Structure formats: structure tokens, C-alpha cells
Chain A
Amino acid sequence: MEILRTENLKKYYEQGVSPVKAIDGVNISVAQGEFVTIVGTSGSGKSTLLNMLGGLDTPTEGKVYVDGKDIFGLNEEERTIFRRRKIGFVFQAFNLVPVLNVYENIVLPIQLDGNDVDEKFVNEIIDILGMTEKKSSMPNQLSGGQQQRVAIARALATKPSFILADEPTGNLDSKTSQDVLGLLKTTGAKFGQTIIMITHNEEIAQMADRIIHIEDGHVISKDGEKNE
């Protein structure tokens, strides 16, 4: 089942005489349960693409469908609500809310939605991620790896359509990176979660089921040709 699809997605920035084409006609599709990485160098447009996939940035042209719904057909408020129910985010800088403890951070999107927390489910995630002892701890007491695990748990807790991970190991050492990536993949597989991960690291990209290369705002094939 198709979870995510883009149609001729473009993002142009007006700068000087000619516009900067950050994303220039991208068409991708992600099926449910897939672990996809989007790889590109700095300035390739991968972050811009990720922002549009998550509904955080408006495209100049083109559409993004999540579970068959055109997310840019919604207004901002509707899109935010849609996002908290359908998309889980894992950021490079962890981005936990400093005034909430671990458990509160994890269930935050659920409680913002006004729903009851599936405690059994959440505790299972916490357990798998090895954070049971730290449920009452504040983010300032956690290491980088621990914070990223909490971020992963937060992304999983709402049972989203897919998880968007933007360079999730960018701020971690190599060993911790391995652990975190392993957990991401494991929990994804366990809960049948679709994961789309952005990275510049080809080695990390290899752990995915499918790799999408992006260069100068275009998706390119393995042999370097643009995929229309």
C-alpha cells in the first residue's frame, strides 16, 4: 500500500536574477513498511525535500500525498493536526521539550491531540528502547543517544503513517549512532512502521531497504541519471 507519493514536486527560491531551484520536479513513492533513505551531499536539496514531505514547507509547485490525502490542500492548522497524527519526526538535534520529562515528551503529540494514551503500547516502546528507568528523568539528565531514543519513541507513540528522520545520528558518536540506527530499524520492523531517513552518509544509507539519491534538487538513479 502506498503511504507517500509526490507529484512533480518543486521548490524555487527567488534570489537575484534567476531563482534557486532547491527541488526541481521530484516524484517519489514510498510503500507501507518500507525503510527508505534519501541520500545527498550538502546543498543537494534533501532537507528541503524532507520539509515538504512533512508538510513543514510549502512547495512552489507539485503535490504531496500522504495516505492518499493532498496535504497542501489543507490549511496550516489542519496540516499541523494531520502531521501530529500521521507523521513522526526524529531530528538531528533531538529537540526534546526541556521542561517535560521523558515520558511526557514521548506522549506529547498524543496528548496535544486530546487522546488517551495507550499506556501498554507506549511502555512497550520505552522498554524496547531501554528507557524504562529514565521515564521521570528530564532531558538535561540524558546523554545524546538516550535523548535520540526518546525522540524515536515520541515518533512511534502516535502510530504514524511514516516516520521522517532527519540525520538522526548527526550529533552522535559512531557507536551510539550504530545503536540508535539499529533501534530505529528494529522498532520500525516490529511495529510495521514506514521510515524515511535523510542522510549524507552512504554507509548509513546502506541499512535501508531502498536508497533514493538526490542531487541539485533532482532524484537520480544509481548510474547518475535523473529519474523523471
Chain B
Amino acid sequence: MSNVKNKKCIDNLCRKSIFANVRRNVILAFAIILSTMMLTTLFTVSGSIIKSVEQSTLLQVGTSSHAGFKFMTEEEYEILKTDSGIRDLSYNVIVGSLLNDELYEDYTEIRYTTDECAKTSFSYPEVGRLPEDMYEIATCTDVLDDFGLPYELGETLHLIIYDGETIREFDFVLSGYWEKPAATLANQIYVSKQFQETYAPVWKDAEDKEAHLMNQSYTGAINPDFNFSSKFNLEGQMADLKERLGFGPEVNDGINWAYATAKTDPTSVIMIAFILMLIMGSGYLIIYNIFCIAVSSDIRYYGLLKTVGTTNKQLKRLIIRQAVLLGVIGIPVGMAFGYLVSVVLLPVITENMLNVPCEIHPSILIFVLSALFAWITIRISCIKPCKVVKKISPVEAVRYSEYTGANLSKKKKTNKVTPFSMARENLKRNKKKSFVVVLSLSLSVLMINVTVSITKSFDKNKFVSNFAASDFTVAEGSLMNRNLSNEVFDGVSQADIEELSSIPGITDIGASYMMESQQEVEGIACERMISLYEAHTEWFVYDEESKMLYDDWVYNRHVMASHVYGVDEFVFDNMDIDAGDLDWEKFSTGKYVIVSASVKSSQDDSEYAMYQIGEKVNVCFQDGTSAEYEVMAIGDLSYAMGPQHSHGLDIYFTLPADEYLKHAPSEGAMKLFFNVEEEAYADVAAFVEKYCSEINSRLGYESRETYLEDFEDMVNVFLIVGGALSLIIALIGILNFVNLTYTSIHERKKELEVLRAIGMTRKQQKGMLIGEGVIHIILTFALVLTIGMLLNYLIVNLIAGGMIMFTYRFVIWPVLACIPVFVLVSMAIPAAVIRNI
């Protein structure tokens, strides 16, 4: 068969077909734009957030390298160098720790570094160079600020360096400096190779390492960084590397957790997949539904073309060409809008929710994916009418209607005929389409309810109380700033307490005290300890070294690491208790102790306590003395009131403050807590701010207000993002409804005329059509109020269940609030459509 030259004819037909059904094609183009826009927004925003968070986390981690080792010997490093599976190998060497007062509250490390390592650690001099001479250093501007020095090369810094044995002081000359990125936690001071080799020679071998560690010194430790061939599954690649090199658990490895694909968290994956499916499903619903709804008129039209000799192949070409034309217009517009929406939405999300600056990172891949998805959906949707036409004769196609009622049941019980009863029966003509519309409307209502449920399930008090047990908390700076190396547990002196207690407006005040100690565990307590350790070794042991340590403590020495706390009544009243009753009067006699369980979960952990209620325990203090107390209860300080760190298999004893102070190495409190009258809040805040910055600058403070603001910001983000998503899905649902209504009325135009002929007034017809709309809404809300509520529970828990401030609250008012709106829409649209017929 020869090729027929009909391309021009098909093109012409295609163009004219599009303009012949302008309304439908405009809606279709709009649907394509909407779904492409949603996908582009989703991919762009999440991609940008991931990229920005990754960047920011890299800065926090302190390196852009994929992975590295810590505290290596030269022997181990030489082996590492030979491996062909790693690239960009660089290293730094710890030179000691800094004891300057100027750097007390600004954590600073002192090292030697290679050029490459400095670059990947975001600490390469922007002005000047890395040190070369013996007494040269390079550092960041934060350090220069701490010393009150100008940013000028040649400035002198006096540093006090402790190498684990000796304290040395040197004057260094500044050879280079840089501005440390805000997200980076630690400052760096780099010394020259010459200095490092002289004062901090590298660990030669395991023996050398052991000797240093005995003195708790890391001076001379080599810390190599490197990249793998890809940043996927870093954990797996590291495990392979160690196996190749024959490195066991004695070699400390580190994966750069900044890379999102370092380790996949199943919950996050599920959440992201869920949102993605929601968006894609909604997009698919729009496009597919619009194509399907118009299928009858398409089939009749294509049937007509077939009667004049168009082949199936030509028809397919025509259909696809129309789809391409719509796609070519709709997809780029959708992508452009998607990008614009991302530009607006991203700052809103990041300012209120993430503490990292985020920039838009557009990606070709994102645009390609969005376009691909939209195109696939269009392709699937528009082929359907083509397949139907292929199967039936041209004449049948010309007369095709999905509203003939051919698919209705054979018999029907006789009922009184009213416009509403006719509406009910009409819905049965095309159950599939009705179902799709009901589904998309239900989805939108569900989304709204889920959004509100999540925000209402956020317990403000739970959130705040996790971080702040009182209006104000004052403690030594190291307990407020997690970056300081040495935590001080007695930094709030009695003088501080006296001064702060005298502030007018304080309603409650109390302190917690703490000492670290080692508890000798005997008798039944020892049996319990061994039993717990053996039953759940994996809870405490994470490598060879820790196993050796715990084995020794548990089996040989029968000891546990312990904290001994002293508390005032205010702190006592806020303790987390697993078992037993609290009685301050009895407790304050000094004869009782509260003992913690050695495991902390959100449930009752009293079974894991070494000492049970009523038993006597000989509490061992830091100074070597001990005293006997009766166990009043099993519990611990609340998270906000404690030191916010733990050891593993350990035990905490809580005594009344007076009793504690009898055995304490100092009178200093760990933390001071106080509540204030509302009217006095601002004045107290100002006083505390001044006290902690001018009078005793070693102290820091936190207030409940700050956490409340954080909470409000977080809730707002959920409302904004969830609200936007709900709005889009609601728009989709309504769009589908409009399209279904219009098409079904249009398809039954002749039938409606006949009904008018036999006496059905316009008013009655309007009632019937409105009835059809209302029935859709009734079905929608029936679905939402049954299966929907169960889904609501599941989805809300899936998204927010793991958050600390989450307490599920059943919320239904958003669904109820939607009813009048949807009913109004369901009535207005058929009324508007029939007015024009």
C-alpha cells in the first residue's frame, strides 16, 4: 500500500478539532497546567529543601567529604592510602585542646590540616594562606572577635595549649583568616606542619594510641576524610572499605550524615512517598477524569470521521496530535507556575519551620519528571476513546452515548417518581464517573481535616515542657550550648540563686544539683543488673571497646555509672515518676531516695530499676562516702530539668537538696528554675538577660516564651502547607464535579427536551439536576465520615505520630464546615449549567 499524503489534512483536522470544542480543551489545558504545576512545586520545593539542608548540614558536620576516620594511627593511615576505592583523601591532626578564657564559650579546635582538608572543611583562608612557619596560625574571624583583634594579617594571638600532659603557651602570628559559615559549629585554628610535628607528633601505632588514650589525650590523632565513588549508601560503602582494609571496631569511622542518602529513614520515606502519591494521584484524577468525561462526544466525533473514511491509525495520530498540542501549551505553563509558586512557598516553609537558609535549586530533572508524568497521564487518558471507536462500527460510534442506560439493571422496583428520585436513578447511569468525582471530593475534604487534625494534635504544653519546665531556666553556659566540650554541673552559685530569687514577680523557684559518681551494686541489685545487661546487651554496647568496658563493670567490678541529684520542692513536684507516690514532707527528712530505672522509654520502666520501692540502697557519692536511704519511688528528673545526657547502663539517685549538699563537692546548682507572674514577665526577662551577659557571663538562660514562639511558627507552617495542598485538591475535586455536571447535562440535552415535552417544567428539571449534585455531596460526606475518619487517624499518626508534642485529637468540625460550602457548590453549578441549555 502506498503512502498517502494526508499529513496536512490530519494537521488541519487536528487544529480545527481543538477549536471546535474550546470549552473542553480549555478545561483540559487548565487541568494539565494544574497538575504539572503541583508536581513541579512539590519536586522543586522538596528538592531545594533537601539540597539546602544538605548544604547546611555539611556546614554543621564541618566537612563536605562523604566519610572519614577518627583518631587513626600512622600505621592505619598508610594502609588506608593504598585503597583504590576512595578518592580525595585528606587529613588533619589534633594538636591539643585550648584553655584560653577568651574561647571558653566559643568552642575552638586546634589542628594541623592539609590544603584539601581545609577546603572540604569550609575553613580555607579567604585572606592570606595556611601557616607554613613554626609559629604561624590561620583561623576564622570568630576567633579574632573573641580575642578582640582586627582582621589583619600579622596580628599576634597568645594561645594556651594542653596536650594531655603539659600546658604550653605560645604567641602565634596570623598568616590567614576566613569567615566561618554561620551554620558551622566549631571554630578552627590551624598550625603549621612544623609545629605539629614538634609538639603533636602523630600516633605511630596502636601502642602509641593506647598510651595517649590512657591520659585521655587525642593529641597526635590523625583524622582522614575522603570520598567514595558515589554518595549513595555510604554506610554500606564504609563497611566494605573497612572489610577490604581489615579494620575492625577499633577504628572509629564516621559517615557524613548530611547526605540524605547516607541512611534512609523508613518513616521519612513513607511520608514522602505518601505525599508524592497524593499529589500524583490527584493530578491523575483531574486529567483522566476530564478526558473520560468527554469520551462520549469524542467517540461520536471520531465515529463521524470514520464514516467518511478515516482509518484507526489516522484517528490515533489525530488524537495524539491534539494531546501533544495541549501538552505543549499546558506543561510548560504548569512548570513555570510551579516554579513561581515554589519561589513564594519555599521561604514561608523554611523561615517558619527549618532553621536553615534555603535557596531555590531548580533542576532540569524536576522539570523533566513533572512533564513526563503529565504526558504519561495524558497519553493514557486520550487513548481510551480511540480504543472504543476501534471496536465498534462507524455508525454505532456516531450514535454512541454513555448515558443510554444500557448498563442499568433489567428490572426495578416501582417507586413514586419525583425529580429527586429521578436524580438518584440517574446517578446509576455512570457509576464509575460518579465514583471518581466522589473520590476526588472526599480526598479534598479529608485533606482539610487531616491538616487541621495535625495542628490541633500538637500539644503546646507538651512541646514546651519537653524543653522548658518553667518560665525561665538558668544554668552554666556549657549546659545551654551543646558545643562546649566540658559540661559544668555546678555553675549556678548560691550567690546567683540568692540574687535571682530576689527578682520581684517570681512565683516559684527551685534548683537541681548534680554530681557524677560510680555506684557499687550488690546483692539483688547486682543480679538485676546482670540480668538486664545479658537480656539487652545491644541496648548498651555498640562496639568492641564499649563491650569490654561494660563486661568489666558488670561482671568484675559490679559498678554502674551514676548521677546523684539534689532537688528543691519545685523540681521534686515536676519529676517523671514510673512507680510510687511522692511525698515532699517525708522526702525532705533526708531518709528517702528516688531511683531511676536503667532504661528510659515513654512507658513504665520500673521493671528495669536496680532498686525497687521500699528497698534500702547505699548511695555512693563522688567524694567516696556513702549513705543509706529507702527507695520512695522509681523515677527521674524531667528531661528539661536534668542534664540532658546519659551514659548507657547507668543509674540516677535523687535526694532532697539539703541532704545532697552534705555530700556534694560544691554548693553550686546545676540549673535554677523559676516561674513569674505574667505582668512581671518582661521585666524579669530583661533582668535575667542582663545578669547572664554582664554580671555572670558564664551563665546562660532559656525561657518558655522562646519555645512557645517556635511552636506557633511550626503550627503555622503545617497550616500553610496543608492548607495549600487542601485548596489544590479541593479545586481538583470541584473541577471534576463541574466537568461531570456539565457533560452529563449536555449529553442528556435531548432527553431533557423530551422530558420538557411530556411536561417536566424547567423548575422540576433544575430540581432533578441539583438533586444529582446534592447526592454526590451526600455520598462524599458519607464516605468521609466513615472510612475517611479512620484514614484521618491513620494519616495523622503517620505524619505526626512520632513528634514529641503529638497527642492525637479527634477533630471533625472541618468536615462539617465543608458541608454547606460543598452543598452550595453542588446546587449552584447544575443551576448555572441548565440556565444555558
> A residues engaging B (CB < 8 A)?
54, 56, 76-77, 80-81, 83-85, 89, 91, 95, 97-101, 103-104, 107-109, 111-113, 135-141, 154, 158
Contact = CB atoms under 8 A, between A and B. Distances in A.
26 contacts: A56-B756, A76-B762, A77-B763, A80-B759, A83-B758, A84-B758, A84-B759, A85-B759, A95-B751, A95-B754, A98-B403, A98-B406, A98-B408, A99-B429, A100-B412, A104-B417, A111-B417, A112-B760, A112-B761, A112-B764, A135-B414, A138-B405, A138-B408, A140-B408, A141-B411, A154-B758
B755 interface: yes
A139 B417 CA distance: 16
B418 A111 contact: yes
A137 B410 contact: yes
Contact of A56 (B410, B417, B422, B757): B757
A136 B413 CA distance: 6
B428 interface: yes
Interface of B: 403-406, 408-418, 422, 425-426, 428-429, 751, 754-764
B759 A83 contact: yes
A11 to B, nearest CB: 17
Contacts of B417: 100, 104, 107-108, 111-112
A80 B762 CA distance: 9
A212 B416 CA distance: 40
Given A91-B754, A111-B418, A138-B405, A81 B413 contact: no
A99 B426 contact: yes
A103 B414 CA distance: 7
B409 A109 contact: no
Given A104-B417, A108-B417, A138-B409, A97 B759 contact: no
Contacts of B409: 138
Given A98-B404, A140-B406, A80 B413 contact: no
B405 A80 contact: no
Contacts of B757: 54, 56, 83, 89, 91
Helix, strand, loop or mixed for chain B's interface? loop
A77 B762 CA distance: 7
Which 5 residue pairs are nearest across A and B when measured between Cβ atoms? A84-B759, A98-B405, A99-B425, A95-B754, A101-B412
Given A98-B408, A99-B428, A109 B759 contact: yes
A96 to B, nearest CB: 9
A99 B764 CA distance: 17
A140 B409 CA distance: 9
Nearest to A136: B411
B522 to A, nearest CB: 86
A73 B411 CA distance: 42
A113 B761 CA distance: 10
B771 to A, nearest CB: 13
A77 B404 CA distance: 27
A152 B405 CA distance: 21
A54 B762 CA distance: 17
B414 A81 contact: no
B422 A99 contact: yes
A83 to B, nearest CB: 5
A136 B414 contact: yes
A98 to B, nearest CB: 3
A215 to B, nearest CB: 26
A15 to B, nearest CB: 22
Q: Could you say which of A84, A98, A111 has the most chain B C-beta atoms within 10 Å of its C-beta?
A: A98
A154 to B, nearest CB: 7
A89 B416 contact: no
Contacts of A91: 754, 757
A149 B758 CA distance: 16
Contacts of B761: 77, 80-81, 112
Contacts of A77: 761-763
Contacts of A100: 412, 417, 422, 425
A162 B660 CA distance: 109
A113 B422 contact: no
Nearest to A55: B757
B414 A113 contact: no
The CB with the most chain A CB atoms within 10 A, among B408, B413, B428, is that of B408
Nearest to A151: B758
Contacts of A89: 754, 757-758
Contacts of A56: 756-757
A101 B758 contact: no
B768 to A, nearest CB: 10
B398 to A, nearest CB: 15
Contacts of A112: 417, 759-761, 764
B415 A104 contact: yes
A52 to B, nearest CB: 13
Given A98-B429, A99-B426, A80 B411 contact: no
Contacts of A158: 759
Nearest to A104: B417
Contacts of B413: 136
A202 B764 CA distance: 39
A76 B751 CA distance: 18
Contacts of B425: 99-100
B420 to A, nearest CB: 12
Contacts of B758: 83-84, 89, 108-109, 154
B666 to A, nearest CB: 89
Contacts of B756: 56, 80
A79 B196 CA distance: 106
B759 A141 contact: no
Contacts of A83: 757-759
Contacts of A101: 411-412, 414
A97 B404 contact: no
A215 B408 CA distance: 43
Contacts of B426: 99
Identify the interface centre among A84, A85, A89, A137: most chain B CB within 10 Å of its CB: A84
Nearest to B418: A111
A165 B78 CA distance: 104
Residue of B409, B410, B412, B762 with most partner-chain A CB within 10 A: B412
